[in-house]
Amino acid sequence: MLAVVPPPVTVRAPSKINLHLGIGDQRSDGYHEISTVFQALSLSDDVTVAASEEPGVDVQGEGTGTIPRNSDNLAWRAVRLLAEHVGRPEDESGVRVMIRKEIPVAGGMAGGSADAAAVLLGLSALWDLDVTREDLGTLAGKLGSDVPFALSGGTALGTGRGDQLVPVLSRHTFHWVLAFDNRGLSTPKVYGELDRLRAVGDPPRVGSYDPLVEALASGDPRQLALLLGNDLQAAAVSLRSNLRRTLRAGVEAGALAGVVSGSGPTCAFLCTDGDSAVEVAAQLAGAGVCRTVRVAHGPVHGARIVDGEDSP
């Protein structure tokens, strides 16, 4: 009898920005508690998983040369973890993962985490597994602190390592312009720089997320713009002084406010509406302060199967 080969499954997984990112002091174990408000954006990676006699990872997209194609790829770690979890590690060797990247690499937008979340969801469909979203969320947390949010999407408060998620009401759609820098930034390096800045001085802290949560519920971008904040921004700017110029240029181009996303170096600019975002993006692209500019909106869904669809 011929074995039936299941058709490939494609999953779209969103990027994230941190509207608020509060970082606690470094603990004796080296770890920082965080409190963050994530928003999932329409800028996303598409990941296809397929049964194959040639297992491995393919990555397509601008600036993806530095991404590992081997078992260090976070997407492949997701294949391995899910296979082990369901007791069929032998199946790992029959999977090919194809990643089409839009999310900037090492850009502070959790692209690797998005790919891992996409694999968890895609493989559970490809293998027709009986795993709940909750199970997938638990596995996601083992892969990295941003992976659970890439699965759930929307807007959420994250505490602990950022993986303890509670949904946050966000009325209306917010419009963003994203400025990608020439090179990525290493997240551990940015945390290290924050520790250094805190040892020698007292960089400002973002405080409570409550006012920002209220602004999200109101749906007013002007109110939200006043409350965007990121404790890692000073560290990212200290390592990449050109970001100061990028942040200024976005506001001069007409954005309501700009903030470094996560550990950077991507800068996210909140705009009044979609038309304004297109104008800000055009002006910012002409200002020559960054590699590439994109428009995006949020909140959007977490990772979801998109077979047969061709637009977000």
CB 118 within 8 A of CB 153: no
155, 40 Cβ separation under 8 angstroms: yes
* Among residues 14, 22, 112, 154, the one that binds ligand ATP under rule CB under 6 A: 112
Position 298 contacts ligand ATP (CB under 6 A)? no
- Tell me if 79 contacts ligand ATP by CB under 6 A: no
To ligand ATP, the closest distance from the beta carbon of 208 in angstroms equals 23
Angle at the Cα of 305 (from 55 to 20), degrees rounded to 5? 105
Region binding ligand ATP by CB under 6 A among candidate stretches 36-44, 60-68, 167-175, 233-241:
60-68
Check if the beta carbon of residue 199 is closer than 8 Å to that of residue 125: no
Catalytic residue, candidates 16, 115, 163, 181: 16
Q: Which stretch binds ligand ATP (CB under 6 A): 80-88, 99-107, 175-183, 251-259?
A: 99-107
Closest approach of ligand ATP to the CB of residue 105, in Å: 4
Catalytic, 142? Answer no
Could you say whether residue 105 binds ligand ATP (CB under 6 A)? yes
- Residue 26: in which H helix or E strand, if any? strand 9-26
The residue from 187, 218, 223, 238 that contacts ligand ATP (CB under 6 A) is 187
What is the smallest separation between the CB atom of 263 and ligand ATP, expressed in angstroms?
Answer: 5
- Of the candidate residues 14, 108, 122, 137, the single one contacting ligand ATP (CB under 6 A): 108
Residue 58 has a CB neighbour count (10 Å cut-off) of: 13
CA 216 to mean position of chain CA atoms: 19
* Residue from 111, 122, 148, 258 in contact with ligand ATP (CB under 6 A): 111
Q: Is position 110 an interface residue for ligand ATP (rule: CB under 6 A)?
A: yes
Whether residue 145 contacts residue 162, with contact meaning beta carbons closer than 8 Å, is answered with yes
204 to 243: interface string for ligand ATP, x by CB under 6 A: ----------------------------------------
- On whether the CB atoms of residues 236 and 263 are closer than 8 A, the answer is yes
- Which among 85-93, 108-116, 163-171, 203-211 is the span making contact with ligand ATP, rule CB under 6 A? 108-116
Q: How does DSSP classify residue 153? A: B
Catalytic choice (45, 115, 146, 231): 146
Q: Where are the beta strands (DSSP E) in 30-183?
A: 32-51, 56-60, 95-100, 155-160, 164-167, 174-180
Site for ligand ATP in 120-159 (CB under 6 A): 146
**Angle between the 133-143 and 111-126 helix axes, to the nearest 10 degrees?**
140
Task: Give CA separation, 254 vs 120, 278, 299, in Å.
Answer: 39, 10, 21
Buried b / exposed e over 175-207, threshold 16 CB at 10 Å, is bbbbbbbeebbebeebbebbeeebeeeeeeebe
> Taking the CA atoms of the chain, what radius of gyration do you get in angstroms?
19
Asked whether position 115 contacts ligand ATP by CB under 6 A, the answer is yes
Binding status of residue 44 toward ligand ATP by CB under 6 A: no
Instruction: Report the site for ligand ATP in 240-279 (rule: CB under 6 A).
Output: 262-263
Q: Is 310 a catalytic residue?
A: no
**Interface with ligand ATP (CB under 6 A), residue from 13, 40, 50, 75:** 75
The residues carrying an active-site annotation are 16, 146
Residues contributing to the site for ligand ATP (CB under 6 A)? 66-68, 73-75, 99, 105-113, 115, 146, 187, 262-263
